[in-house]
Chains A and B, each alone.
Chain A
Amino acid sequence: MEQFLINPDCMVYDNHPVTLTGEPYHYCPGCGHGVIHKVLMEVVRDLGIQEEVIGVAPVGCSVFAYHYMNVDMQEAAHGRASAVATAIKRVRPQNYVFSYQGDGDLAAIGTAETIHTVNRGENILMVFVNNAIYGMTGGQMAPTSLLGMKTSTSPYGRDAASMGNPIKITELLAQLPGAYYVARHAVHTPNAVRKLSKAFKNAFEYQKLNRGTCFIEVVSNCPSGWKMSPVQSIDWIEKNMLPMFPLGDIKVPDPKTGNPVMVKNN
């Protein structure tokens, strides 16, 4: 009988890069965080920069990111990851520094730090995982929760008049001169994952140029908080998240001048 029906290279579950510790994720089945961790760490491996990377974990479901990412890391207070990353990069400019934050962390409690980090053009990569909900605390409304979306603190659906509109912080940040590379990606399809991987690679490479902040939003899911099966959550991303948070580059360095320019139609 044929032993290997599946090409070993395609075996996702035992194909851990050295940049992951190999510790099993604590994430719910189907959660995007695990995929994003893996994509990020594969890029670190591929670029051969594991020894030079310092990461900052947030408060949110990915608070234990350092259990999985096999690089030096600091765990920041809720919302302050970009301030922590700023300081690490300032005292160790020779290192690659990234922060990893959820929507509550980055776009609610940490909004001031987020804006000012990008405004100063800190030479770091900021990874923003937008799952439109507070996963860790049990599914409360997030700054990016969609209008009408039911969460444990918007049980009748998010209503713009009393709860505000979902914030498109990524577009907001792209306006700042300190932003060098701004893009929105997702992890709901293999193709989206490939694009995200390329974006992370670009971001680390740009960090060497000292030209400003690279900011990558990743539209993700939270099957538990959204009260859906993982498969349903993928459909829900397509139908509801992406119209509000369209994927693609928002600001990129001009290939000729190297200066960051806004991408048209975005």
Chain B
Amino acid sequence: MEKQELKGKEIKLMKGNEALAEAAIRAGLDAYFGYPITPQSEVMEYLTEQIPVRRGLVLQAESEVASINMIYGAAGAGARVMTSSSSPGMSLMQEGISYIASAQLPCLLVNVMRGGPGLGTIQPSQGDYFQAVKGGGHGDYKLFTLAPSTVQEMVDFVFEGFRMAEKYRNPALILADGALGQMMEKVELPAEGEFPHVIPDWATTGKKAGRKQNVITSLFIQPEKMEQINIDLQAKYKAMESEVKSESINTEDADVILVAFGLVARICMKAAELAREKGIKVGVIRPITLFPFPTEVLNTTADRVKKFLVVEMNAGQMVEDVRLSINGKADVQFYGRMGGMIPDPEEILTKLESMMK
């Protein structure tokens, strides 16, 4: 097929999943491996349409088990690679993700979450927070985890995800939800071809004369060696903490702080507005990176503000990290909807009002 020219900067109205896929091509994606699952199938559909006439390769695997192991192989061979899935598919990938983290391979993973447990529902959820930031698979490892709240961030975090993955030789994860994947918003797309990728010297590209063989492995059978690998990994995760990102809105004069990530943070911003109209001074803290977690911001804010309300689309997952961050300095309450239900600003307001009584 005839290849199109590289695309310039553009402003478009796009669905979250398609914007993410378009961003991946513009970020110089070499290969995508995936398996269809609602509510993110548009990512692969978009890529299978675009890639043949643009650049890179896309392959529909026989399962998420296969696709994550293809990510391992391609990343190990030095390619810039991505996969995407939704909750049940991510569960299936966890073994592979653990191997990728241990072998220290850069790649971008995307989870457009849906309600669980089990086959659950195809409606949006944040039920995979624990899976994303507490390991998910076996062993001590971390994913650099980004939580977009707009379609624009679905685009921006593709670039940021690759940047972090390659800087730290670590998998990065975009943790979105079904609503973000499906909704349409205006996005600014960066120009294509301006985010170069060099094949790392550790990649398996064929053992050239004069260099030692390159090996990609997660097997270090001597416990002394395996412990050292763990120590090195932990040092890397510590170094990643410098990349922490969060957004604080109207927290200076606030009497109560809403803490939420992703789409829920936007609903909280609306709830905060409604509350202020009623005379309750509400601020919002939105963790943008979930790992590393914005512990510092939360902790220092709790020096002054004594009430926090964490809102999530799950039974209370991030709230545990908020409590650890605040470490008893303030009262941390939780409000959540589960199973694919989205909280509306009014119900958050009601909860705020009851807290301020």
Contact = CB atoms under 8 A, between A and B. Distances in A.
Interface of A: 21, 50-54, 56-57, 63-64, 66, 70-77, 80, 83-88, 90-92, 95, 112-113, 115-116
A57 B204 CA distance: 13
A252 B204 CA distance: 30
Interface stretch (B146-154, B208-216, B268-276, B347-355): B208-216
A114 B214 CA distance: 25
Contact of A84 (B59, B70, B79, B214): B70
A75 B33 CA distance: 19
Contacts, number: 126
A87 B72 contact: yes
Contact of B30 (A80, A91, A95, A113): A91
Given A75-B217, A84-B73, A86-B70, A54 B205 contact: yes
Shortest 8 CB-CB contacts between residues of A and residues of B: A87-B73, A84-B73, A80-B69, A87-B70, A75-B217, A72-B204, A87-B74, A83-B69
A171 B111 CA distance: 39
Contact of B73 (A64, A71, A74, A112): A74
A83 B207 contact: no
Interface in B139-169: none
B216 A75 contact: yes
A88 B74 contact: yes
A91 B337 CA distance: 43
Interface residues of B, number: 39
Of A21, A56, A63, A83, the most chain B CB neighbours within 10 A belong to A83
A80 B65 contact: yes
Q: Which of B30, B73, B95, B216 has the most CB of A within 10 A?
A: B73
A83 B75 CA distance: 13
A257 to B, nearest CB: 28
Given A72-B205, A73-B204, A112-B66, A87 B218 contact: no
Given A72-B204, A74-B204, A95-B205, A66 B215 contact: yes
B231 to A, nearest CB: 21
B62 interface: yes
Contacts of A56: 73
B151 to A, nearest CB: 29
Given A51-B206, A73-B204, A84-B72, A90 B57 contact: yes
A80 B77 contact: no
B57 to A, nearest CB: 6
Contacts of A64: 219
Contacts of A75: 103, 215-219
Contacts of B208: 51
B55 to A, nearest CB: 12
A72 B207 contact: yes
B213 A95 contact: no
Interface string B54-89: 000101011101110111111011110100000000
A13 B215 CA distance: 26
B34 interface: no
Contacts of A95: 205-206
